[in-house]
Structure 1
Amino acid sequence: MNNFPLTVKRSIELLGLMALVAVIVIGRDIIMPILMAFFISIMLLPVYRFLKKKKFPESLSIILPIMLVALFVALIVWFFSNQIGILVKDFPQIKANVTQHINSLSDWISRITHYNDKQQKAFIQGKSDDLMNMGTSLAGGAAVTLSGIFVFIGLLPIYIYLMLFYKDILLRFIFMWFKPDHHPKVKEAIYETESIIKSYLIGLLIQITYMTILLGGILMLIGIKHALLIGVIFAILNLIPYVGALIGNLIGVLLTLTSSQELWPVVTVLGVIAFVQFLDNNILMPRIVGSKVKINALFAILGVFIGGSVAGVSGMFLALPIVAVLKIIFDRTEMFKQWGALLGDERPAKSPMSFPSFRKKKPIPVKSGVEGKE
């Protein structure tokens, strides 16, 4: 391939990229559980190695970490089911609060526009009917969706077990894919990939914990109802870069509105969320996760949206670690170094239009004081 013209090489790269996306879209039901299992397996490697050092049988060294993950997931499911039960008990009060907020909104709209109450009710009724029709059409696929979720969850522990059990075979396959002269770079990339994924995923677990305690605890002290639920929901959604925080703010406002007849709790919730996010983005998370691989914000957001469109919520969660792994691979491959530069946040100190040296595939001076989002 080194003898091919540059235009042919770039065309092959783009065709390969399109083929990869097509394969992921077509086989996402198979590929996504495997990718999720891969990342969880790497996160469980330290526990597995610790148990192996303590002379535990290999099968038990794999099963025990998987059981820890299952226990963690079960606790999350129990918490949400418990909180949903509380919301159901409060439904009459929630309905009254929502009615009051809607009436207040209706009065405000009537004052600033020419729409009267009857026109507003007709509009709301029409949109409600549209939502009901949409819900009816989606209900037919609910069983398929639920069955897909159960299959996904059922396959995960099997994939995790087999990946840990056969990890040496997988590593041998990777080394055999490259020439012996390239093995040192391959080994370096494997170690860095493992380090990045472990620090990222373990950091996210720590992030969920402290954000839940901080946000939920502060809101509880202030006296906001459903404070802990707001904290957990926001902490989990915040794992989705950029987009998750916006959705978390919206859900926090909606939960606060349904549990209060006043507007000051909404302002309080938004203020506390903004404060906790400031601590998270600028002080806590950079110290926990570190900054080994930096992805620029543009491709982090694009990755989240592409992952969501291809594989739903799981794709959004996995977008950033996948992009980080791709950058590690691209940076160590001469053919794809330009893709690694595109994904990174290392801005040249001067414009490549004026300095030809900044157009080459080599380390470049970067602008000082510019930090990218992990």
Structure 2
Amino acid sequence: MNYKNDLPLTVRRSIEVMGVFFLGWIIVLGRDLLAPLLMAFFLSIMLLPLYRFFRKNKFPETVAIGTTLLALVLVVGLVVWFFSFQIRNLIADFPVIQANVTQHLLSLSAWVEEISPVSTEEQTSFISEQSSRILGYLGDMLSGAALSITGMFVFLGLVPIYIFLLLFYKNLLLRFVFFWFPEDQHDNVEETMREMEVIIKSYLFGLLIQVTYMTVLLGGILMIIGIKHALLIGVIFAFLNLIPYVGALLGNIIGVLLTLASSSELWPILTVLGVIAGVQFLDNNILMPRIVGSKVKINALATIVGVIVGGEIAGVIGMFLSLPIIAVLKVIFDRTSKFKQWAILLGDERPSESPMHEPALREDNEGVERQLEEENDIEPTRKRGR
């Protein structure tokens, strides 16, 4: 074996791994700065069509950006108002909810007493002890919660400022990007950025449409059946469903808890779970693939790891941003020969044969790539940069 020839490749791979480590470290240290900046970046991409419409109609640049931001604020305000209205109705039903929860606890206590030697008095004592501990934990968490609320206000204050500045300085930022690459690669860089814009817009607009029809479909069906707080269940599940895998589970749990608290019977819980399962099947297999398309597919392993890492770094916002960030990285890595292995790791172009038995799968071959894209129902990528 010629170690002299292998050394540069080994060193390069080691530098790449170290670069990933230090990049992750920088992201963790600067998450308070990066989270609102990344959110503003994706929202500014989504707002570009509206901004271009105003500019096309001879609006001054600052007026076009301000009007675009105003439209975003109005949409967010309507969502907040809807949530507030639904929560107000839930609070108004609090006495009924308390009575139903007590009834369910008594039924559960009687069932536990039948199948175990633990008496009702012992259960009550255990619940009282655990309640005292929980209250103690809540007291310790109050300061942290206050900091979280303060951080949320800072986040919401920074996002519109970042959006304004990103739109205002977009030409300067684009020039900065082109200066990083030699002139013979500028066509490939331009094509990559245009593809990134299309993917981000299709993904985010798809999520917006998904939230709308999930709220209307799920909330409407539950309302027709007669489930209380149907719209609140629908909108909570629709927003949580934006977080891959984890969000759907949390949405089911919250839907069950809201139904359990607002009903003295158990049949509505099964109804809610059945309707959620049906709507989610319709969303995952029919509606969402047609809306978002199949330009970029991320494998389930990369998605789950990305969601968990994003949640650890920036909470719920990080979980939401994880998938579009991975999709953008996949597009960039697909366009380069140096980082092609990372694109393979993130993508869903799963070969039917093992590379151990098919040597062609071990190489960066465009013919093999096209075949894998056809087998996995992925839209063909454009010519990759080398």
Matched, 1:230 2:233: yes
Q: What is the rounded CA distance, in whole Å, between the counterparts of 1:173 and 1:301 in structure 2?
A: 33
Matched, 1:344 2:350: no
Whether the aligned pair in 2 keeps the contact of 1:338 and 1:361 (CA below 8 Å) is no
> Within 5 A, what are the aligned runs for 1:41-190?
41-190=44-193
Q: Which amino acid aligns with 1:228?
A: L
Q: What is the rounded CA distance, in whole Å, between the counterparts of 1:3 and 1:155 in structure 2?
A: 48
For 2:332, which of 329, 333, 355 is the aligned residue?
329
Please report how far the alpha carbon of residue 332 of structure 1 lies from its aligned counterpart in structure 2 after TM superposition: 0.9
Percent identity over paired residues: 62
1:272 corresponding residue in structure 2: 275
Matched, 1:366 2:372: yes
Please report how far the alpha carbon of residue 3 of structure 1 lies from its aligned counterpart in structure 2 after TM superposition: 10
Q: What is the rounded CA distance, in whole Å, between the counterparts of 1:6 and 1:121 in structure 2?
A: 66
Cα offsets for 1:85-120 (capped at 9, x unmatched): 112211111000000111111111222222221222
Please report how far the alpha carbon of residue 290 of structure 1 lies from its aligned counterpart in structure 2 after TM superposition: 0.5
Q: What is the rounded CA distance, in whole Å, between the counterparts of 1:371 and 1:233 in structure 2?
A: 31
Q: Which amino acid aligns with 2:58?
A: K
Q: Which amino acid aligns with 2:275?
A: V
Please report how far the alpha carbon of residue 81 of structure 1 lies from its aligned counterpart in structure 2 after TM superposition: 1.5
For 1:239, what is the secondary structure of its paired residue? Answer: coil
TM-score normalised by the chain length of structure 2: 0.93
Cα offsets for 1:117-147 (capped at 9, x unmatched): 1222222222222221111111012222111
> Within 5 A, what are the aligned runs for 1:292-331?
292-331=295-334
For 1:141, what is the secondary structure of its paired residue? Answer: helix
Please report how far the alpha carbon of residue 82 of structure 1 lies from its aligned counterpart in structure 2 after TM superposition: 1.5
Distance 1:367 1:351, change over 3 A: farther
Matched, 1:208 2:214: no
For 2:196, which of 184, 193, 198 is the aligned residue?
193
* Deviating more after overlay: 27-36 vs 3-12: 3-12
Whether the aligned pair in 1 keeps the contact of 2:46 and 2:200 (CA below 8 Å) is yes
For 1:5, what is the secondary structure of its paired residue? Answer: helix
Q: Which amino acid aligns with 1:221?
A: I
Q: What is the rounded CA distance, in whole Å, between the counterparts of 1:325 and 1:367 in structure 2?
A: 18
Q: What is the rounded CA distance, in whole Å, between the counterparts of 1:367 and 1:69 in structure 2?
A: 36
Question: How many residues end up aligned between the 2 structures?
Answer: 371
Q: Which amino acid aligns with 2:206?
A: G
For 2:239, what is the secondary structure of its paired residue? Answer: helix
Q: What is the rounded CA distance, in whole Å, between the counterparts of 2:7 and 2:179 in structure 1?
A: 25
Q: What is the rounded CA distance, in whole Å, between the counterparts of 2:89 and 2:237 in structure 1?
A: 18
Q: What is the rounded CA distance, in whole Å, between the counterparts of 1:371 and 1:250 in structure 2?
A: 33
CA RMSD of superposed structures (Å): 1.5
Cα offsets for 1:233-260 (capped at 9, x unmatched): 0000000011100000000000000100
Whether the aligned pair in 1 keeps the contact of 2:206 and 2:288 (CA below 8 Å) is yes
Cα offsets for 1:34-81 (capped at 9, x unmatched): 000000000000111111111111111111111111111111111122
Q: What is the rounded CA distance, in whole Å, between the counterparts of 2:61 and 2:149 in structure 1?
A: 33
2:29 corresponding residue in structure 1: 26
Q: Which amino acid aligns with 1:116?
A: S
Q: Which runs of 4+ in 1 moved over 3 A?
A: 367-372
Q: What is the rounded CA distance, in whole Å, between the counterparts of 2:351 and 2:274 in structure 1?
A: 37
For 2:40, which of 32, 37, 61 is the aligned residue?
37
Q: What is the rounded CA distance, in whole Å, between the counterparts of 1:295 and 1:208 in structure 2?
A: 21
Q: Which amino acid aligns with 1:70?
A: V
Please report how far the alpha carbon of residue 369 of structure 1 lies from its aligned counterpart in structure 2 after TM superposition: 5.8
Any gaps of 5 or more consecutive residues in structure 2?
379-386
Please report how far the alpha carbon of residue 349 of structure 1 lies from its aligned counterpart in structure 2 after TM superposition: 2.8
Please report how far the alpha carbon of residue 17 of structure 1 lies from its aligned counterpart in structure 2 after TM superposition: 0.5
TM-score normalised by the chain length of structure 1: 0.96
Please report how far the alpha carbon of residue 368 of structure 1 lies from its aligned counterpart in structure 2 after TM superposition: 6.5
For 1:293, what is the secondary structure of its paired residue? Answer: coil
2:11 corresponding residue in structure 1: 8
Please report how far the alpha carbon of residue 6 of structure 1 lies from its aligned counterpart in structure 2 after TM superposition: 1.4
* Deviating more after overlay: 12-21 vs 109-118: 109-118
Whether the aligned pair in 1 keeps the contact of 2:113 and 2:120 (CA below 8 Å) is yes
Whether the aligned pair in 2 keeps the contact of 1:348 and 1:367 (CA below 8 Å) is no
Distance 1:367 1:178, change over 3 A: closer
For 2:248, which of 245, 251, 254 is the aligned residue?
245
Whether the aligned pair in 2 keeps the contact of 1:224 and 1:265 (CA below 8 Å) is yes
For 1:140, what is the secondary structure of its paired residue? Answer: helix
Distance 1:253 1:174, change over 3 A: same
For 2:233, what is the secondary structure of its paired residue? Answer: helix
For 2:338, what is the secondary structure of its paired residue? Answer: helix
Whether the aligned pair in 1 keeps the contact of 2:294 and 2:377 (CA below 8 Å) is no
Cα offsets for 1:157-199 (capped at 9, x unmatched): 1100110010011111111011112212211110110000000
Any gaps of 5 or more consecutive residues in structure 1?
none
